[in-house]
Amino acid sequence: MVPLSWYMLLSIVIFTIGVFGFLSRRNIIIMFMSIELMLNAVNINLISLSHYLQDLRGQILAFFVIAVAAAEAAIGLAIVIALFRNKATAHVDEVKEMRG
Binding site for other proteins (CB under 8 A): 19, 22-24, 26, 31, 92-93, 95-100
**Closest to other proteins by CB, 71 or 95:** 95
The DSSP 8-state label assigned to residue 92 in this structure reads: G
Q: What's the min distance (Å) between Cβ of 77 and other proteins?
A: 16
The CA-based diameter of the chain, rounded to the nearest angstrom, is 54
**Closest to other proteins by CB, 51 or 73:** 73
Q: Are 95 and 87 in contact (CB under 8 A)?
A: yes
Q: What's the min distance (Å) between Cβ of 1 and other proteins?
A: 30
**Closest to other proteins by CB, 56 or 79:** 79
Residue 61 neighbours by CB under 8 Å, 6+ apart: 46
Residue 27's SS3 state is strand
